[in-house]
Amino acid sequence: MGTASAQPAVGHRSAASAGSIVRALRILLVVNAFASSVTARNTVVVHRALSHGHDVDVVETNRRGHATRFAQDAARRGLDLVIGFGGDGTLNEVATGVAGTATALGVLPGGSTNVFARTLGMENDPTRAVVQLVDGIRAGCIDPIGLGNVNGRYFCFHTGVGFDAAVVDQVERHASLKRWLGHPLFIYAALRTWLLEYDRRTPHFAVSGSVGSTADGGGEHEFHLDDGYFTIVLNTNPYTYLGNRPLDLSPAATLDRGLVAITFRTMKAAAIIGALAGALRGGGMKPSANLDVHTDLSELTIHHDTPFPYQLDGDFLGTTRALQFTHVPAAVRVVRPGPPPP
């Protein structure tokens, strides 16, 4: 099998070739066996489904960064597709490993929330999602998508700066409970962080950015604000799911447009709850005196003399004094869910 070219490895569906496979693919399945929804049984089911007509190797991660190294090695060896089977953190690492190469990205939900997989239209159950993935491979549903990049690290759906990063930090301190408690653990962590862990009296950072040409024809301009308490930088929408309900922050956050930055300029409970209630109703968060919203960002900088926390696609990455964001169009080719064969 030769090195993968820049063209899709499988053909697009047509009346003459619907359901046919152009060639067998070399696939690496990267499994996080510790993820909430990954079991030995569904890993076998997933492997069997992918192995019909394709050469599939399986590797398991055992530490942070492991999935990225597996994906980078697969891309160097010219494999056609690397599939991340785990939570959003695992998928982020796989995407980071194959971004900028000819190797495509496949997504299977194995975590507790699976934001990125569901944003792509995947079922939230891995045994059903693998059928969609196989159909996507068969139909050639492989498209380039944009990713965000912050301080050299790619992100698929969002980066949280400030309060929500502090919440993720609290959750990860109780990682052994995450598999069993899920959303209640996040609620507990959010309340504890709000009451005891996060300074709600003084701003935590400054935010400045550059807005490129927008979808509605708007020109470029820059902005700056000094009183950021809590910022979410979106590459996709929704921000997360509460059960089956999406938390819709901005419909402008799509995989073919620039980044969206939403910054809370206060930590007053009424402002936070009001904005979240609007997001749950759909339509996204609306700009106000307490809420700054910028869309179609090509670049963004967040900085302060005092370190502040940040998380990336649901993984807490520590504290920093500066974050430099860029939007990278067509950063990776992703397999989307495909139609079933006739």
> What pLDDT digit, counting tens, does each position of 229-262 carry?
999 999 999 999 888 889 999 999 999 999 999 9
Q: What is the pLDDT of residues 12-57, one digit of tens each?
A: 333 333 344 457 999 999 999 999 899 999 999 999 999 999 999 9
Residue 2 lies in a domain: no
Q: Which pLDDT score is estimated for 184?
A: 77
Question: Are both 111 and 90 inside the same structural domain?
Answer: yes
Q: Which residues lie across from 209 on neighbouring strands?
A: 223, 300
Pairing verdict, β 142-150 and 291-312: unpaired
CATH code (residue 283) = 2.60.200.40
Q: What are phi and psi of 210, to 5 degrees?
A: -125, 125
Q: Express each pLDDT in 143-200 by its tens digit.
A: 999 999 999 999 999 999 999 999 999 887 776 665 556 667 777 888 888 888 889 8
Question: The domain spanning residue 98 has which CATH number?
Answer: 3.40.50.10330
Residue 95's closest CA among 121, 78, 117? 117
Q: Are residues 104 and 39 in the same domain?
A: yes
Question: Which position has the token pair 């790619």?
Answer: 154
Same-domain status, 126 and 182: no
- Point out the domain boundary residue: 101, 121, 150: 150
**Assigned domain for 120 exists:** yes
Q: Which domain holds residue 253?
A: 158-312
- The answer to whether 291 and 285 have CB atoms below 8 angstroms apart is yes
Q: What is the pLDDT of residues 83-132, one digit of tens each?
A: 999 999 999 999 999 999 999 999 999 998 999 999 999 999 999 999 99
pLDDT at 15: 30
Whether residues 41 and 107 share a domain: the answer is: yes
Domain stops at, among 131, 150, 169:
150
Tell me the pTM: 0.87
How does DSSP assign 135-200, residue by residue? HHHHHT-EEEEEEEEETTEEESSEEEEEHHHHHHHHHHTTHHHHHHH-HHHHHHHHHHIIIIIS--
162 and 69, same structural domain? no
Count of domains in the chain? 2
Q: Is 324 among the domain residues? A: no
105 occurs within a structural domain: yes
Contacts with 64 (C-beta within 8 Å, 6 or more apart), sequence order: 89, 93, 315
Residue 326: inside a domain:
no
Q: Among 150, 180, 213, where does a domain finish?
A: 150
**49, 133, 147, 327, 334 from 61: Cα distances, Å:** 21, 21, 23, 28, 21
Instruction: State residue 243's pLDDT score.
Output: 80
Residue 196: the pLDDT is 85
Q: Taking all residues of the chain, what is their mean pLDDT, rounded to a whole number?
A: 88
> How confident is the model at residue 257, as a pLDDT?
94
Same domain, 107 and 165: no
Residue at 199 is within a domain:
yes
Claim to verify: residue 48 and residue 146 sit in the same structural domain? yes
pLDDT tens digits for range 204-218: 999 999 876 544 555
